[in-house]
A = this chain, B = another copy of it.
């Protein structure tokens, strides 16, 4: 469905076969014709075309600011932007520009990127379906009756539909990878502390990571240098290394994680096994103990941090929140400190368990246990489980957030009904470059095989 990658746009701009204005106009036209996706919540054509025109001028004068000068990139609505309002798709915030850019937006803007509007998201990123938003739900470009997943659902839809080749997302329990998986594109969650969270409205500050969604794996390599590295405005990035986009990897050692707590549908499991066989990696299989305990720890930390962050605004403007988000935030207040401490300790235990799995380049899971659910379906059944659609979306994804690991979702095929299936690869802490190299090796081998 997606027709052109960011890498192809970069090349075409460099070769002069297209202009930034052409790319912007085409993207705007495509956005208009695909309004039914509800991917964008703020889009100002004149402002976009003016940015593109300026990029064309620079390039004409040999003063292009970077390889990316002139490419249009869409921004999730929880990144602060000078020019567009930022509401995290919640009615609790005013529809006015904050007048400042998140660090990553500022990085892209200084590189000449055309800031292409704001994308729809699950309200406050506090949900993984993209069905709760002040602007209404997002629809999956592969089938408008199905959800995109979330919370970066608008970014997923915009890239998968070929409106833009890349978009920004953020990920607390899978919010980059879930829509990437459900929409059949690529999504990357960096290691915790590797990418600046400054100016990205938080959900849960010890779990949140900003990350890109894009049309190809190579595109992610172009984008991650704008995410990673020390930012004086985000103290958790104090020791963050810049992203080195020159790392490749040989035949990787993979561990396919399966077993109790890691159930998935028959078709998803078959797609993963087929991809692992086809790509010819070195694969062994194992389980993870205590999945239920880890999941509870993730939930406790998420709800408690979200409640702590939202307490002032919730006190001031409770009716601006949807009922379900408000209920989550109220519940988070009830958690006892000693329970939160237990969750933080269990979290440390997960990192220990992953550290002793032995020699591996990446841990493999499906991105989702099922294909993109039909809009309105409240429950999902797979592998003997019956869970809410919300829990099905985050089913595997939260593990990387709880452990702070880098994690990528790549598309590996389509279900019989024409919905994408994604494979997730988790790397070691701060080995983001190696993970991208491993994913590249797999992605290339799967494509050769096609």
Contact A235 B333, beta carbon cutoff 8 Å: no
User: CA of A337 to CA of B308 in the docked complex: distance in angstroms?
Assistant: 8
A307-B338, A308-B338, A308-B342 known; 11 other A-B pairs, CB under 8 Å? A300-B337, A304-B341, A308-B337, A333-B336, A334-B336, A335-B336, A335-B337, A336-B337, A337-B337, A337-B339, A340-B340
User: CA of A155 to CA of B185 in the docked complex: distance in angstroms?
Assistant: 64
Contact A304 B338, beta carbon cutoff 8 Å: yes
Secondary structure at the A interface, as helix, strand, loop or mixed, is helix
Chain B residue with minimal CB distance to A304?
Answer: B337
Q: How large is the interface on A (under 10, 10 to 19, 20 to 34, 35 or more residues)?
A: 20 to 34
Report which A residues bind B (CB closer than 8 A): 235, 300, 304-305, 307-308, 311, 332-342, 348, 352
Task: List the B side residues contacting A334 at CB < 8 Å.
Answer: 336
Q: Nearest Cβ distance between residue A234 and chain B, in whole angstroms?
A: 12
User: CA of A339 to CA of B332 in the docked complex: distance in angstroms?
Assistant: 11
Q: Nearest Cβ distance between residue A20 and chain B, in whole angstroms?
A: 41
Q: Nearest Cβ distance between residue A235 and chain B, in whole angstroms?
A: 7
User: CA of A352 to CA of B340 in the docked complex: distance in angstroms?
Assistant: 24
Task: List the B side residues contacting A333 at CB < 8 Å.
Answer: 336, 338
The answer to whether residues A337 and B332 also contact, given A308-B342, A342-B308 and a CB cut-off of 8 A, is yes
Task: List the B side residues contacting A305 at CB < 8 Å.
Answer: 341
User: CA of A348 to CA of B206 in the docked complex: distance in angstroms?
Assistant: 13
User: CA of A104 to CA of B337 in the docked complex: distance in angstroms?
Assistant: 31
Task: List the B side residues contacting A348 at CB < 8 Å.
Answer: 235
User: CA of A339 to CA of B305 in the docked complex: distance in angstroms?
Assistant: 10
Task: List the B side residues contacting A335 at CB < 8 Å.
Answer: 336-338
Q: Nearest Cβ distance between residue A40 and chain B, in whole angstroms?
A: 34
Task: List the B side residues contacting A304 at CB < 8 Å.
Answer: 337-338, 341
Most chain B beta carbons < 10 A, residue from A311, A335, A337, A352? A337
Contact B342 A338, beta carbon cutoff 8 Å: no
20 A-B pairs within 8 Å (CB atoms) are namely A235-B348, A235-B352, A300-B337, A304-B337, A304-B338, A304-B341, A307-B338, A308-B337, A308-B338, A308-B341, A332-B338, A333-B336, A335-B337, A335-B338, A336-B336, A336-B337, A337-B337, A337-B340, A340-B340, A340-B341
User: CA of A154 to CA of B332 in the docked complex: distance in angstroms?
Assistant: 44
User: CA of A336 to CA of B335 in the docked complex: distance in angstroms?
Assistant: 6
Q: Nearest Cβ distance between residue A327 and chain B, in whole angstroms?
A: 16
Chain B residue with minimal CB distance to A204?
Answer: B341
Q: Nearest Cβ distance between residue A216 and chain B, in whole angstroms?
A: 37
User: CA of A311 to CA of B338 in the docked complex: distance in angstroms?
Assistant: 9
Task: List the B side residues contacting A342 at CB < 8 Å.
Answer: 308
Q: Nearest Cβ distance between residue A348 and chain B, in whole angstroms?
A: 7
User: CA of A180 to CA of B341 in the docked complex: distance in angstroms?
Assistant: 32
Chain B residue with minimal CB distance to A303?
Answer: B337
User: CA of A308 to CA of B340 in the docked complex: distance in angstroms?
Assistant: 9
Task: List the B side residues contacting A332 at CB < 8 Å.
Answer: 337-338
Chain B residue with minimal CB distance to A311?
Answer: B338
8 tightest CB-CB pairs across the interface, nearest first? Answer: A337-B340, A335-B337, A304-B337, A308-B338, A308-B341, A337-B337, A307-B338, A333-B338
Chain B residue with minimal CB distance to A333?
Answer: B338
